[in-house]
């Protein structure tokens, strides 16, 4: 499968938009009802589109690592708020749209952030935020030994691992591509230097031969050489 095909890329982007839209609808109508707009169950409905906005922001400012850091910090703060203030009767979802967009942002950050240490720090923050998202189910699961939150965290751990692997794959492919380009350019420089060396050596040799011929002519026929110089003047 050629991922560089423009048609395939457009199809994948369209499919991604559809999936994100369906996840957003699921967040809204989780458990068959609209979440209470005055409670904490409304927050994942707002955070999901905000993470998508940070993911799809077209401008270079703020850059990707800044956006990823803001998303990770905001997601962790939101998780803490929901766990602290949500009641046991809270309904809704922990934020499937936010989780999916965060995983995509994690994969992009691993593959696109230039400095490895910065990429590792951003990836760690996003990974922790993603794994902690299902803990928002703790207030609702308090009577069920928190099975839903634990299972969700385990699933998010697996998803985070897959996102990291995909981002690392993209980063390794880009590094290999850059090395190949650098090797080709170095080969072109060496070939140009070799051709330039041959060109200069040929002309320098020609100059030396002409100079030696002139010296030999002057020693063997000094009168003729002087006559030629006089006629030249």
Nearest 5 degrees, angle CA 41-CA 45-CA 50?
Answer: 135
pLDDT tens column, 38-74: 455 667 777 888 888 887 776 677 788 888 888 999 9
How far apart are the C-alpha atoms of 124 and 106, rounded to whole Å?
9
The string of pLDDT tens digits covering residues 76-85 is: 988 888 888 7
| Sequence-distant (≥ 6) Cβ neighbours of residue 45 within 8 angstroms | 24, 27, 28, 35, 92, 95
> Residue 182 to residues 101, 155, 177, 179, 188: CA-CA distances in angstroms?
34, 41, 9, 5, 10
C-alpha span between 62 and 113 (Å, rounded): 13
30 DSSP 8-state letter? G
What Cα–Cα distance (Å) separates residue 130 from each residue in 107, 172, 189? 12, 23, 47
pLDDT of amino acid 16: 75
* Length of the chain in terms of residues written: 233
Q: Whole-number mean pLDDT of the chain?
A: 77
Q: At 165, is the pLDDT very low, low, confident or very high (cuts 50, 70, 90)?
A: very high
Compute the half-sphere exposure of residue 193: CA atoms within 13 Å on the CB side of its CA: 6
CA 101 and chain centroid, separation? 15
How many Å separate Cα 112 from the centre of its chain? Answer: 2
The answer, yes or no, to whether residue 158 has pLDDT greater than 90, is yes
Banded model confidence at residue 157, pLDDT cuts 50, 70, 90 = very high
Residue 98's closest CA among 113, 84, 78, 83? Answer: 78
């Amino acid at each position: 499968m050629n991922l560089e095909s423009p048609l395939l890329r457009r199809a994948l982007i369209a499919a991604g938009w559809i999936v994100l839209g369906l996840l957003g609808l699921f967040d809204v109508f989780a458990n068959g009802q609209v979440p209470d707009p005055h409670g904490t169950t409304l927050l994942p409905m707002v955070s999901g589109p905000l993470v998508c906005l940070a993911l799809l922001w077209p401008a270079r400012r703020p850059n990707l690592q800044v956006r990823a850091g803001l998303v990770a910090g905001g997601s962790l703060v939101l998780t803490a708020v929901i766990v602290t203030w949500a009641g046991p009767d809270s309904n809704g979802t922990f934020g499937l749209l936010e989780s999916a967009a965060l995983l995509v942002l994690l994969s992009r950050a691993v593959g696109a952030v230039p400095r490895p240490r910065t990429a590792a720090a951003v990836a760690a923050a996003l990974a922790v935020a993603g794994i902690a998202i299902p803990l928002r189910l703790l207030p609702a699961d308090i009577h069920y030994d928190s099975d839903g939150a634990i299972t969700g965290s385990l699933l998010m751990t697996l998803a985070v691992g897959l996102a990291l692997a995909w981002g690392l794959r993209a980063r390794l492919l880009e590094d290999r591509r850059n090395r190949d380009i650098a090797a080709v350019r170095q080969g072109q420089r060496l070939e140009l230097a070799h051709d330039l060396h041959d060109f200069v050596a040929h002309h320098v040799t020609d100059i030396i031969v002409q100079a030696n011929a002139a010296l030999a002519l002057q020693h063997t026929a000094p009168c003729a050489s002087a006559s030629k110089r006089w006629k030249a003047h």
